[in-house]
Structure 1
């Protein structure tokens, strides 16, 4: 049995829950963390929410889980961060940490001597992920994004880690799970560098915090904790079985300008179909984007304004 779970100055003995604001390394930046040290033996699960500060359903889900889970019903331990990016949350800054204008999800495994985003990533890697047996990074549609609920699994990890991650993904009540070939995200870094089965889950859209999304998210997270025998909880049935997407296309803006999207999240698209276009301020078309293959739209930018290099549409081949 884990007699004491320690994260920085937070300490929880077996059967205890502790919550507090933790300073990130040598900075004044604080992160709200809940540690739940179960009454019985078991694995450790890490859940991070709000890496992007305006993805609200996942943050509320994490807050409610942290408040409601009883350590007496836990075997093992649960570490919950809610949210990771407090600066972005308070400032309503989509995707980035305002102090350094970086996306935390793009700087893992981090740097203890780097900017604040890199220090946050370093802290998560070395203080949290290092203690975990399983890792779930929960997300949702940012202020400018619409999406269909889906999951990413680490496609570049060791085959056994990837297989375990896929097995876990199939327990979620989402329509699709997607092979990810990135290597510098939080969950991919955990899977590749630490050999920890990990997933990134997407649910919610457009910076809205809808009760239905939070309820669905909580159901998913409670179910997966039950599947892992970490929480004494009666698993509920899902409405759908997720389909695998092994090939996905991510379109980024080639220009700064005005974006019009012709497709919606969850819709099917055909090869050659026009997905959207960017115009200048006079309505002159700068760039037009077409589908390279038949697939389904995973997410799309709903904002009218876009910057060069920003995300526009993601779609996958089923």
Structure 2
């Protein structure tokens, strides 16, 4: 069975890489198609929807290089990275041409700005022929996080079940059931009936071979579970703990951020999680835990912006 994305075509038993043009833009996405000799499901893997999240991008690049058609049943489509203009202009996870965050724009708009058009193209050209979706992320250039995985919560019951099963094959300490229904790529895919997960590993615009090695092992284990990659599914070293009632705290003011906790650290209700001060050391805002939980990610830079992310934590489900 042939697989075609834009101008790229891979026949059964072929692996093809090249650039795919986004209509009515100058954007060309680096894409790899791996079409196995045996018929099966199609899995989409994206890195760099947020272009400063380098561990996910490098993982997608290495997977595209390493995986071969002889070990694939079905098809793999890899984009590495999605926000290539942001990557090449070193923006903080925004499309260079319009300043928009791709993971807030799905399903996109063919008549919109560049970011809208990229998202619409991903929906019509990629997700339209996808059976399962794995989205690779990290902390942004100013964020650090503890490794965890999101799975779908706001989708059809069978899609939620399959998404959670995929998440359980990822070797991270926490998994979060997401009930967000708009804007995000994997959330939108779920609304289309595509079991999807979003993996978080690394951050602060850094990457290492050690992190990427762990990341590749995660993705390959999910692919084995989906019977797309040859080999046995490996037991995860640590069974992921469910985290729910996740709170995404945004800053009320611009200033200097002083976190009191580390990512992955437990917190108690009423405990101070961090403070924002002005340039004279005066406290402008204090962030206090609303309940017992665990810190998933937080801003790690001194600079923090009004209405921008500050810290995210959730309850550990017993």
**For residue 193 of structure 2, what is the aligned residue in structure 1?**
195
What secondary structure is seen at the aligned counterpart in 2 of 1:254?
coil
TM-score by length of 1: 0.97
Q: CA RMSD in A?
A: 1.0
Measure, in 2, the Cα distance between the counterparts of 1:74 and 1:264: 40
2:231 to 230, 233, 241: 233
**For residue 123 of structure 1, what is the aligned residue in structure 2?**
121
Measure, in 1, the Cα distance between the counterparts of 2:211 and 2:256: 29
Measure, in 1, the Cα distance between the counterparts of 2:303 and 2:233: 43
For residues 141-188 of structure 1, give each alpha carbon's deviation from its aligned partner in whole angstroms, at most 9, with x where no partner exists.
Answer: 221111111011121111211111011111110111102121220000
Q: Which contiguous aligned blocks of 4+ residues in structure 1 show a shift greater than 4 angstroms? A: none
1:43-122 matched pairs, under 5 angstroms: 43-122=41-120
For residues 101-160 of structure 1, give each alpha carbon's deviation from its aligned partner in whole angstroms, at most 9, with x where no partner exists.
Answer: 111000111001111111111111111111100001110122111111101112111121
Q: Residues 256 and 308 of structure 1 are in contact (CA less than 8 Å); yes or no, is this contact kept in structure 2?
A: yes
**For residue 185 of structure 1, what is the aligned residue in structure 2?**
184
Measure, in 1, the Cα distance between the counterparts of 2:314 and 2:287: 15
Measure, in 2, the Cα distance between the counterparts of 1:249 and 1:300: 11
What secondary structure is seen at the aligned counterpart in 2 of 1:235?
coil
Q: Which runs of 5+ in 2 are unaligned?
A: none
**For residue 202 of structure 2, what is the aligned residue in structure 1?**
204
TM-score by length of 2: 0.97
Measure, in 2, the Cα distance between the counterparts of 1:189 and 1:56: 23
Q: What is the aligned residue count?
A: 315
1:1-318 matched pairs, under 5 angstroms: 2=1, 4-183=2-181, 184-192=183-191, 194-318=192-316
Measure, in 2, the Cα distance between the counterparts of 1:257 and 1:154: 35
1:235 Cα offset (Å): 3.4
Q: Residues 59 and 82 of structure 1 are in contact (CA less than 8 Å); yes or no, is this contact kept in structure 2?
A: yes
- Of residues 42-51 and 21-30 in structure 1, the stretch that sits farther from structure 2 once superposed is 21-30
Q: Residues 222 and 233 of structure 1 are in contact (CA less than 8 Å); yes or no, is this contact kept in structure 2?
A: no
1:225 Cα offset (Å): 0.8
Q: Which runs of 5+ in 1 are unaligned?
A: none
For residues 55-82 of structure 1, give each alpha carbon's deviation from its aligned partner in whole angstroms, at most 9, with x where no partner exists.
Answer: 1111111111111111121110000000
Measure, in 2, the Cα distance between the counterparts of 1:95 and 1:182: 20
Q: Residues 169 and 235 of structure 2 are in contact (CA less than 8 Å); yes or no, is this contact kept in structure 1?
A: no
What secondary structure is seen at the aligned counterpart in 1 of 2:76?
strand
For residues 87-106 of structure 1, give each alpha carbon's deviation from its aligned partner in whole angstroms, at most 9, with x where no partner exists.
Answer: 12122211211211111000
Measure, in 2, the Cα distance between the counterparts of 1:116 and 1:18: 26
